[in-house]
Amino acid sequence: MLSVGLLGPLSVFVDGSPVSLSAGRLRVLLAMLALSAGQVVSVERLATAVWADERAPGNVRRSVQTYVARLRGALGAEWIGSGPIGYVLHVDPEHVDVLRFVRVLSEASSASGTADERARLVEALDLWRGRPLEGVPSRWLQEAERPWLVERYLAALERRVDLDVRAGRHGELVVELSELTARYPLRESLWARLLVALCRSGRQADALARYEEVRARIAAELGTDPHPALKRIHADLLAMRAPSL
């Protein structure tokens, strides 16, 4: 069995044993193939990712063929097939964490109830081990894939937080959201959830102080005011009303 982890540092296992790919171009090649598990990826597309930050070789097809041969040597020849236009990684999409993440999120969006939805969200979020595509040295690949992955991650995280707010888990959310706002200091939707969790934990003064913290940061770094939703929560705090999301 082959498994590829891209939601954090690149990890590769064959039959339970880790495989180390020391060459950066091999890591890029594998990442490209894994993101399209079971589907042929053209030589041109592979080359775009592999040589994104440097001049491509004169004979691109032959160079890609050479790296594919090296990758087959590291993984086992049976895992990589070839066709007229490119190559395919014969791996179950369930064993590529990015593809499983997307699949589980889709299940969460169509869940029959909040408990089932939350379970699916937790399952998807638990697949993350750090910054996606870490150790994959391709600017093109990271610019094409990392932003939407991070956005899907944060949106799923916020949805799970919203379910926990409804369930009254305010105290534990304060700790988690404090860490998240430190990691993503300009994501106002996370700050909004932190203010709500603080207020519902009986910490209105702390909520007001954190609002001033994010307001000052936004002004200094972006030169703007907070989003209207965040300002509305602040107004509710000042009016001694329990804010909502």
Give the model confidence (pLDDT) of 126-171 as tens digits. Answer: 999 999 999 999 999 999 999 999 999 999 999 999 999 999 999 8
Q: Residue 184: its pLDDT value, please?
A: 96
What is the distance between the alpha carbons of residues 19 and 10, in angstroms, rounded to a whole number? 10
Mean pLDDT of the chain: 94
Residue 58 has pLDDT above 90, yes or no: no
Section 10-36 average pLDDT: 96
Q: Residue 53: its pLDDT value, please?
A: 72
Residue 242 has pLDDT above 80, yes or no: no
C-alpha to C-alpha distances, 219 to 132, 189, 207, 213, 235, nearest whole angstrom: 30, 16, 18, 10, 18
* pLDDT more than 70, % of the chain: 100
pTM of the model: 0.91
Q: Residue 52: its pLDDT value, please?
A: 81
Residue 96 has pLDDT above 90, yes or no: yes
Domains, the chain, with CATH or none: 1-167 (1.10.10.10), 169-245 (1.25.40.10)
